[in-house]
Every structure is written in C-alpha cells, then in structure tokens.
C-alpha cells in the first residue's frame, strides 16, 4: 500500500509541475487575458490545491473528507464545461456579482450579525452598490448546468456516477 501512495505522490508532483507551467503561461500573457482565461486559470489553480488536499487526506486514512473535496472538484469541472458550452462567462460573472451582493446585503441587514462583524467586512460591499444596480437592470438569468447531463455530454458519465453522485453521500 505504501508503494501505491508514493506512486500517487510522484505522479501528482509531475502533474503539479505541468500545471505550474500552464499557470505561468497565463501570467506571462496576462495583458491579453479574457474573462474565460481567468476562469480557466482559477479553476486549474483550485484543482491543484484540491488534488493535493485529497492525496493528503487519503494518506491520513480520511477518505470521507477526500470524497467531499472530490465532489467540489468535479462540480468545478462541470461548471466550467457549462460555461464553455453556453459561452456564458460574462453572464455568469455578472450573476455571481449580483448573488454575492445580495448575500452580503442579507448579512448587512441582519441585526444579529452587526455585533459579530467589523465594519471593514462590508467595505467592498458598500462600494459596489452602483455596479449592482447596473447589473440588476440587465435582468441576468444565468442558470447552473446539470452535473449529470454535463458528464454525459462530455462522454464521461462515470465522473457523475462514481465521483460526483457517490461523493454526495458524504
């Protein structure tokens, strides 16, 4: 079993080197980076950290938490695929901004939270009201893709069946 763990770590170390080269390329050409490139770069970077966490948890015999992180990783993959299929990077970005603003507004309006958070927590929130109103007027109607359908469209239904769906049990 130890040999297998070391093999996984070796493979992951090689994978990390390759991913870091890809991320470096994004950085080198940053002035020509589109919203799509930013989403892809951030997804790759998060995947790198997530895979490292899964391997660490596996080596600590904590497979349950590894499954939870795997589900998040697969959700990001399906999410990115949906953005690509629908070419909805800009719409998603605006939708996310609206949702985050509304979430922060709920926290800001909750009297029970006032004493628990410092005013600096809301600093960016207050600055973004104008942008929120602008996006809200656009009636953004972005919808999240369905993981099961996306895995079939990718011709990889096993990712949903044996990864995403199974990991949802934990």
Q: Alpha-carbon distance 96 to 150, whole Å?
A: 20
Q: What is the 3-state secondary structure (H, E, C) of 1-26?
A: CHHHHHHHHHHHHHHHHHHHHHHHHH
pLDDT in tens, 120-149: 888 888 899 999 999 999 999 999 999 999
- Picking from 50, 81, 14, the residue whose alpha carbon sits closest to that of residue 167 is 50
Average the pLDDT over 17-26 and give the result: 68
Exposure on the CB side of residue 18, measured as CA atoms within 13 A: 7
The pLDDT, as a whole number, for residue 2 is 46
Delimit the domains of the chain by residue range. Answer: 1-87
Q: Pick from 91, 101, 67: which is nearest to 139 by CA?
A: 91
Prediction pTM value: 0.77
- CB atoms < 10 A from the CB of 119, how many? 8
């Amino acid at each position: 079993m130890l040999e297998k763990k070391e093999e996984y770590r070796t493979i992951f170390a090689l994978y990390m080197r390759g991913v870091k080269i890809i991320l470096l390329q994004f950085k080198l050409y940053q002035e020509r980076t589109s919203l799509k490139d930013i989403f892809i770069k951030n997804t790759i970077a998060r995947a790198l950290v997530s895979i490292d966490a899964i391997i660490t948890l596996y080596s600590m015999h904590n497979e349950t938490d590894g499954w939870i992180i795997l589900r998040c990783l697969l959700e990001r993959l399906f999410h990115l695929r949906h953005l690509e299929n629908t070419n909805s990077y800009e719409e998603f970005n605006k939708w996310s901004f609206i949702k985050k603003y509304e979430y922060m507004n709920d926290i800001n309006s909750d009297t029970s939270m006032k004493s628990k958070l410092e005013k600096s927590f809301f600093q960016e929130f207050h600055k973004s009201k104008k942008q929120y109103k602008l996006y809200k007027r656009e009636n953004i109607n972005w919808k999240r893709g369905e993981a099961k359908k996306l895995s079939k469209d990718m011709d990889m239904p096993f990712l949903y069946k044996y990864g995403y769906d199974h990991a949802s049990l934990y």
